[in-house]
Structure 1
Amino acid sequence: MQKDSLAMSLPGGATALIAPPLPPPVTRSFWRSSVRRLLRDPVTIACLTVLSLIVLSAIFAPWLGLDDPFKMSMVRRLKPPGTPGHLLGTDELGRDMLARLIYGGRLSLFMGVMPVVLATLIGATLGITAGYAGGRVNMAIMRTVDVFYAFPSVLLAVAISGVLGAGVFNSIVSLTLVFIPPIARVAESVTTQVRNQDFVEAAKATGASAYRIVTGHVLNNVIAPILIYASSLISVSIVVASGLSFLGLGVNPPNAEWGLMLNTLRQAIYVAPLNAVLPGVMIFLTSMCFNLVSDGLRGAMDVKA
């Protein structure tokens, strides 16, 4: 892989370094060696373990013997962590915090991952099309995408959610629209580099169709940088989605979701501070783990020539 890196701005002002595509077509041995390097990274493995525990507990929450996350009791409201029968205490309505946090992980993870998946599919398609076609097609697609860069990402997500209204589906739509432009920009940039490589020119000389060239040569070489960049957006998506719920533009009560739980518990910060910060701890822990896994993924795929 070339030694130069491509710097891209993440939503929220952060910066990610995306390694350029490999000059020759990416083979199965590349993916196998990347997996081996990834598995030798202790930080990445630790973060993957934590994320696996969070995801599995959210998926199998009904079979963990937890309290009903919607059962209210004004008698037991704001019980501190360690209370018998309530390991992490209760919230402002007497609902079990452990059950709310685990069930809340379902919506928080779904709203964090799904927009990135959808944006990757749409943005990568637009970027690869623009990068390979070039000319007026590139101009039309990328100038349309650039319009979204005129607005701060978080503000754009809030504005779209405000127009569409609160709800899980509307939040996913707004976040997807926010993440499509940066992914499309990365895909267009690396596709433009690959398009000028000798093996692509040789494929054109043999009379191969554009579809065969893109799927057989271009896609193999651009998929790694796109996946690396997309993985770095998951943590941003989780934080922004939680922020929308905190502002009342995401999940509606009484559903459990970490951002919404932060909102409802904010008034109890002086009475039961440990209970109030637990949803924030989950947001921080999950987003940090996704960030570190993304860094490990980039390091594993960044093979120096």
Structure 2
Amino acid sequence: MSVLSREWLLDPSPKSRGQARAGQIYLGFVRLFRNRLALTGLIVVLALVVIAIFAPLFATHDPVAQVLQDRLQPPLSPGHILGTDEFGRDIWSRLVYGSRVTLYIVLLVTLTAPVIGLIIGTVSGYFGGWTDTVLMRITDIFLAFPRLILALAFVAALGPGVENAVLAIALTAWPPYARVARAETLSIRSTDYIAAVRLQGASSGRILFSHVAPMCLPSVIVRVTLDMAGIILTAAGLGFLGLGAQPPLPEWGLMISSGRKFLFEQWWVATMPGLAIFIVSLGFNLLGDGLRDVLDPRSSGK
């Protein structure tokens, strides 16, 4: 980056809103890249995305093709870097294609649960009164049940499958976002600039979606990133119990379930997908911690 560009980004008196936002984004990236753990998490997440997109290039075998004469081959055996499962399917290739299923679930839940929670939380916190009471009591009902148990109940009612698992996880994941958005809204609605916008004649809908919701987004984004590990574990748990992805789909939780009976003798069948879940979950947690430091306005002076 040239000196002039850096000076323009770090100008203490920006000439436009775009310049101010560009400077904030630049400083955020600087703080993020200075955090080694957050940078490690970002690398893990980016690796997951790249592997999922270019799965045919990384996979060495057909993930569902059964080669019974090669069943239960150990890691580093010829042609199978991570070994094979009980049907002779290459574990590395199944992990690679399984990253697509994991990313698919994470993206769909991310596009639904936080949006629902953000809307409910901002509406509840802004209007207050009976609206707040009703919405927060509904939220409390969902929070009273463990997420996995509630997801199991929804999947049992909807039927097994990836789409139903995504819907069940989304229906159980929104309450924490609603709580975060409500707390932020309660501190924002009484500020001077909201009062000024209200005096200018702006409607409640415009105030909510143009002024309140954007102020709640940083906290919600951090919560989403930190919740990614929980989403992955819940999806893997549903797959492990046979209520998520169905065979022969290469889903990591389903792979652990099918390999648990070989755990003591052919340990790699269940261990490899377990390590994949661990590494990806850890990556999202590290990235979430880094984003929390970047997006927290109280840390802007650090």
* TM-score for the superposition, normalised by structure 1: 0.87
In the TM superposition, residue 223 of structure 1 has moved relative to its aligned partner by 1.0
Cα distance in 2 between the residues matched to 1:192 and 1:133:
10
> Is 1:104 paired with 2:86?
no
Alignment of structure 1 residues 185-200 onto 2, 5 Å: 185-200=179-194
Cα distance in 2 between the residues matched to 1:178 and 1:210:
28
More helix by share: 2
Q: Which of 244, 247, 251 is matched with 1:250 structurally?
A: 244
Q: Which of 32, 55, 60 is matched with 1:61 structurally?
A: 55
In the TM superposition, residue 214 of structure 1 has moved relative to its aligned partner by 2.4
In the TM superposition, residue 185 of structure 1 has moved relative to its aligned partner by 1.3
* 1:219 equivalent in structure 2: 213
> Is 1:238 paired with 2:269?
no
Cα distance in 2 between the residues matched to 1:191 and 1:218:
6
> Is 1:165 paired with 2:159?
yes
Cα deviation digits, residues 263-297 of structure 1 (max 9, x gap): 00111112211332000000000001001100000
Q: What amino acid is aligned across from residue 248 of structure 1 in structure 2?
A: G
State the secondary structure of the residue aligned to 1:131: helix
Which sections of structure 2, spanning at least 5 residues, go unmatched?
A: 1-16
Cα distance in 1 between the residues matched to 2:245 and 2:256:
12
* 2:273 equivalent in structure 1: 279
Identical columns (%): 38
Alignment of structure 1 residues 32-181 onto 2, 5 Å: 32-64=26-58, 66-181=60-175
Q: What amino acid is aligned across from residue 250 of structure 2 in structure 1?
A: A
Q: What amino acid is aligned across from residue 236 of structure 1 in structure 2?
A: G
Task: Tell me, yes or no, if the aligned pair for 1:116 and 1:179 is still in contact at 8 Å.
Answer: no
State the secondary structure of the residue aligned to 1:33: helix
Task: Tell me, yes or no, if the aligned pair for 2:118 and 2:220 is still in contact at 8 Å.
Answer: yes
Task: Tell me, yes or no, if the aligned pair for 1:116 and 1:233 is still in contact at 8 Å.
Answer: no
Cα deviation digits, residues 172-226 of structure 1 (max 9, x gap): 0110011111111111111111001111112212222223322332223111111
Cα distance in 2 between the residues matched to 1:84 and 1:109:
30
Task: Tell me, yes or no, if the aligned pair for 2:59 and 2:93 is still in contact at 8 Å.
Answer: no
Task: Tell me, yes or no, if the aligned pair for 2:114 and 2:174 is still in contact at 8 Å.
Answer: yes
Q: What amino acid is aligned across from residue 75 of structure 2 in structure 1?
A: P
Cα deviation digits, residues 21-76 of structure 1 (max 9, x gap): xxxx9x62434422321122222112211221222112111233521111112211
Aligned length: 281
Cα distance in 2 between the residues matched to 1:166 and 1:271:
30
Task: Tell me, yes or no, if the aligned pair for 1:171 and 1:249 is still in contact at 8 Å.
Answer: yes
Which sections of structure 1, spanning at least 5 residues, go unmatched?
A: 1-24
Cα distance in 1 between the residues matched to 2:282 and 2:58:
25
Task: Tell me, yes or no, if the aligned pair for 2:59 and 2:92 is still in contact at 8 Å.
Answer: no
State the secondary structure of the residue aligned to 2:297: coil
Of structures 1 and 2, the one with the larger relative CO (CA 8 A, separation 6+) is 1
Task: Tell me, yes or no, if the aligned pair for 1:112 and 1:235 is still in contact at 8 Å.
Answer: no
